[in-house]
Structure 1
């Protein structure tokens, strides 16, 4: 293999694929990036067996070839070089690099051992603007489970019906759902569970590359692919049925409070000084007068009470929440104000944006 390309373009490709490599694995090859010539371009690939990322870089190819090299050292080295031409050549699985007075050689592993990143046979495809994805991915993944004892809860449920696309996630303690309208009606209905780690990786890539303005999403039977133009991300789908959550979504409320998010967050953070010693429990007392009292108690330490102003409609009442889950929900709400909807202390609370958006974040109450 012998080729040359610009450092800026090579660094861009390596940064796109480099975060996917396995960091804790018994297979050394998964810590490597595949460097390969491919139809007049340089192809970079990485996988952790759940997610695979490919990225193509424009290059002047003089000789074909392929090898895998350790991701961290290759990414760090290329990022440290000046924005000039980088020359790459291969000699017996040793990748040699040079760029304006800098020369390095990196020992690689034969590409024969590198896992194949599967091709996706799409059953449905649709396009989404990057700006939309930057909104809806964190809004949904915030509620996905981290505990892998129930794998389906670590994913985000994608539902498409007509021109409506829904993303939903739940860890059984909270639930987030975002709905958007597609430009046209889908040819068929589909439900799939995408690993939340996959969506977070997609988000990282599109945030890091402002040139990706639109993503083509192709959903297959077992895999999903996000076509990024100069690259793609391929992931397995989670096997299993996502819980039917619609029945826990409250259809009405007895109390509705409109609150400034900044004031709400400050009060909760203040209370967490005490609530962290009491399972993050904070008690909200919503008054008809427009005040919300936020109380945190630690039996061995003491207590704190913060009072904030709000616009209250309805009966008022008391309810206890996990303060961390409450903060996570508030962080996902756009705008300066949030609507908190309550029924009673035994039923879930609902956070909704005041601005027009089809999004809600439900939190199960704590018994107090």
Structure 2
């Protein structure tokens, strides 16, 4: 089998697939890309058994066939070649692969394509079309808060919860909960699936920057995201996501609105002086002033800053993990944010002050019990 394509064309495709390859795969064959040629179309597949990404491009080929090629060696070779046509000669008996360029030849040992695991085929699927920009926003707003705790598998991914009225994208790690709602994403059927965070992260990296439609197909076990010449297939998390709506407080009427960048900069400075285990900061809200303070008793470190805010409600003191707040504020894009608070022991909400008509972003963070300290 012999085929020819430009270095940039192949490199672009395998770069999109490279994130799937595990550094310690469960079976050795998964260290390879699967190359399959059929009627001049080269299909390249990478998989870790749970997630697979497939790309298709046109090539000049003399015959159909398939071969598994070592992923790292191929990627490193193409990265260091200038833009030019390269020819792949594959010996289907020995699985040897020779790559020929304008000024060199490179031989590597491939493997039998028959040993590469088959990609799941979905039966009885539900389908949904979503714009790439909406999907990218949903992932960008939520993915950072997915849990890393393997003891809570239901929280190890992005929960897609849709009905006839709207669609919610939700993540939580027990300390934070992010809900991104799209009113313009209506589906006829109800859908509740959990997509593993690795698959979501891969999807985030390969979604095109230019606007395009993403076809989403799913059943109880798997989901497929298709756009342009790429397809991502992933196994869903077979768990029940917690009842997140009941966690979101409805009576947080103590409102604090302030400049997001000012609060973010303040927290980045104050957390330097906080306890390194808890990262606790104290919010003291009095009239139109927010006092942010922290201390580390063990090292006699302390810091305090005053910020102007628009405040509706009673004076309040409440503690939070500054690292959580920083990460949440980094993933909000509006100029101002509103903190919706209630009592020192109740969850706080952070919402952008400006949102698009069809979107509703809500970030929940649990408080930390305050220790008494004063300046």
Settle same-fold status: TM greater than 0.5: yes
Give the direction of change, closer, same or farther, for the CA distance of 1:229–1:121 in structure 2 (3 Å limit). Answer: farther
On the 8 A contact 1:122/1:218 being kept in 2, the answer is no
Q: For 2:260 and 2:105, locate their aligned partners in 1 and report how far apart those are by CA, in whole Å.
A: 53
Distance in 2 separating the partners of 1:202 and 1:26: 22
- How far is the alpha carbon of 1:300 from its aligned partner? 1.5
In 2: Cα distance, 1:54 partner to 1:154 partner:
24
* Structure 1 residue 245, shift from structure 2 partner: 1.5
**Is the 1:122–1:221 Cα contact (8 Å) retained in structure 2?**
no
Name the structure 2 match of 1:362: 364
User: What is the 5 A alignment of 1:79-118?
Assistant: 79-91=79-91, 92-118=94-120
Give the C-alpha shift of residue 214 in structure 1.
2.1
Matched-pair contact (CA < 8 Å) for 1:2–1:65: no
Q: 1:225–1:234: 8 Å Cα contact kept in structure 2?
A: yes
Q: Which stretch of the first structure deviates more once superposed, 62-71 or 236-245? A: 62-71
Give the whole-Å Cα distance in 2 for the aligned partners of 1:65 and 1:124. 32
Which deviates more, 131-140 or 229-238?
131-140
How far apart are residue 65 of structure 1 and its match?
Answer: 2.1
Match of 1:229 in 2: 228
Aligned CA RMSD, in angstroms, stands at: 1.5
What displacement does 1:254 show?
Answer: 3.0
Distance 2:264 2:124 in 1: 43
Do the aligned partners of 2:275 and 2:295 also contact (CA within 8 Å) in 1? no
Deviation at 1:25, TM superposition (A): 2.5
Per-residue displacement from partner, 1:293-323 (whole Å, max 9, x unpaired)?
Answer: 1111101222111211211111131111111
**How far apart are the structure 2 equivalents of 1:128 and 1:148?**
30
Structure 1 pair 231–122 and aligned structure 2 pair: CA distance change class (3 A): farther
- For residues 33-44 of structure 1, the aligned pairs below 5 Å read 33-44=33-44
Instruction: Tell me the CA shift for residue 364 of structure 1.
Output: 0.5
Verify: 1:174 aligned to 2:176, yes or no: yes
How far apart, in 2, do the equivalents of 1:339 and 1:69 lie?
Answer: 52
Q: Residue 156 of structure 1 is aligned with which of 137, 152, 158?
A: 158
Q: Residue 373 of structure 2 corresponds to which residue in structure 1?
A: none
Match of residue 348 from structure 1: 347
Contact 1:128–1:216 (CA<8 Å) still a contact in 2?
A: yes
Q: Which residue of 285, 292, 295 corresponds with 2:293?
A: 295
1:17 counterpart SS class: helix
User: TM (normalized to structure 1)?
Assistant: 0.95
Q: Find the counterpart in structure 2 of residue 31 from structure 1.
A: 31
8 A Cα contact 1:278 1:297, kept in partner = no
SS of residue paired to 2:149: coil
Moved over 6 A (4+): none
Count of residue correspondences:
364
Superposed displacement of residue 21, structure 1: 0.9
- Taking a change above 3 Å as real, the CA distance of residues 66 and 211 of structure 1, as seen in their structure-2 partners, is farther
**TM-score, scaled to structure 2:** 0.93
What displacement does 1:211 show? 5.5
Q: Provide the C-alpha distance between the structure 2 equivalents of 1:167 and 1:71, rounded to a whole number of angstroms.
A: 33
3-state SS of paired residue (2:262): helix
Counterpart of 1:275? 274
Aligned partner of 1:324 in structure 2 is 323
- Structure 2 unaligned segments of length 5 or more: list them: 371-375
Structure 1: runs of 5 or more not aligned: none
1:163 Cα offset (Å): 4.3
Displacement after TM superposition at 1:171 (Å): 1.0
